[in-house]
Amino acid sequence: MAKQGIGTLSNKDIVVYALYLLGGWQKRVHTEDIALKCYDLAPSKFSWVKYPHIPSDSTTRYALEPLEKQKYGALVKGESERKRTSRSIGGWMLTGNGIEWVKANRKRIEDYLGTHVPTGDRLPADRKLRSLTESMAFGRFRDHGEQAEISHAEFAESLVCTINTAVEVLNDRLDQFDSIAEELKREDIKSYVDFCRKRFASLLGIRGRQNNAKS
């Protein structure tokens, strides 16, 4: 049972925790699903004022959007589906920083909200890791490290993509693997993701993404 004093928690605390519970460490989660979970955890904070029985997705969005920025910890990545364009994906997921933040703050949050079991299971994450670790590109990286010679096609194939896959999808796949690796303590996966981001920086548009994240 949750303790009294919900006002001690910020909206940031609740949205990040809700995203974690919904499996945001291994996939993108729809804004409205996060809003419903936040309402379930703290209805007084995440409801309409006049109609308190209705969850507020805008409160959830306003809490999530700043958390992409470095000055707020860069805890999440994504965007509201309302803002989705042909060059974006929509939905939210935790970054490595976000997962570390949850681990550091989970007990404090659950002291007020009570203990909650994450939904879903590890099976999707395990399948993604298996497809990656069995790829030719990962095998070469495992054998040769930073000296591995990996083509664009082999890199894309390791992410279950093709050379025609949009850069936004490639980056999203890398983000997913980075977060999964952080949650499951797979340093080999994190090393491969870091290697790919450096080796294919031009393809991935890494420089622009980093500059935007610092704003």
Structural domain includes residue 209 = yes
Do residues 17 and 109 share a domain? yes
Do residues 87 and 127 share a domain? no
Cβ neighbourhood burial of 205 (10 Å; 0-12, 13-18, 19+)? middle
Look up the CATH number of the domain holding residue 25.
1.10.10.10
Lowest mean pLDDT among 100-114, 161-175, 195-209: 195-209
Given 77, 92, 113, which residue is the final one in a domain? 113
Given 78, 113, 148, which residue is the final one in a domain? 113
Coil, helix or strand at residue 51:
coil
Span 62-76, average pLDDT: 95
Do residues 94 and 143 share a domain? no
Do residues 15 and 77 share a domain? yes
pLDDT at 212 over 50: no
Do residues 19 and 70 share a domain? yes
Q: Is the pTM of this model over 0.75?
A: yes
pLDDT at 85 over 70: no
- By percentage, how much of the chain surpasses pLDDT 90? 80
The mean predicted confidence, pLDDT, of the chain is: 89
pLDDT at 210 over 50: no
Among the listed residues 98, 31, 84, the one whose alpha carbon sits nearest the alpha carbon of residue 59: 31
Structural domain includes residue 46 = yes
In this prediction, residue 1 carries a pLDDT of 47
Do residues 129 and 60 share a domain? no
Do residues 109 and 127 share a domain? no
Do 39 and 46 contact (CB within 8 A), yes or no? yes
Residue pLDDT, tens place only, 32-45: 999 999 999 999 99
Q: Where are the beta strands (DSSP E) in the chain?
A: 76-79, 91-94
Span 118-138, average pLDDT: 90
Confidence of residue 123 (pLDDT cuts 50, 70, 90): confident
Do residues 183 and 109 share a domain? no
Do residues 100 and 33 share a domain? yes
In this prediction, residue 89 carries a pLDDT of 76
More confident residue, 195 or 122: 195
- Specify the number of domains making up the chain: 2
Coil, helix or strand at residue 140:
helix
Span 126-154, average pLDDT: 96
Structural domain includes residue 158 = yes
In this prediction, residue 84 carries a pLDDT of 62
Residue pLDDT, tens place only, 52-65: 999 999 999 999 99
Structural domain includes residue 153 = yes
Do residues 93 and 139 share a domain? no
pLDDT at 211 over 80: no
Given 51, 82, 113, which residue is the final one in a domain? 113
Q: Which two tokens stand for residue 185?
A: 């303590």
Q: Which structural domain range is residue 37 located in?
A: 6-113
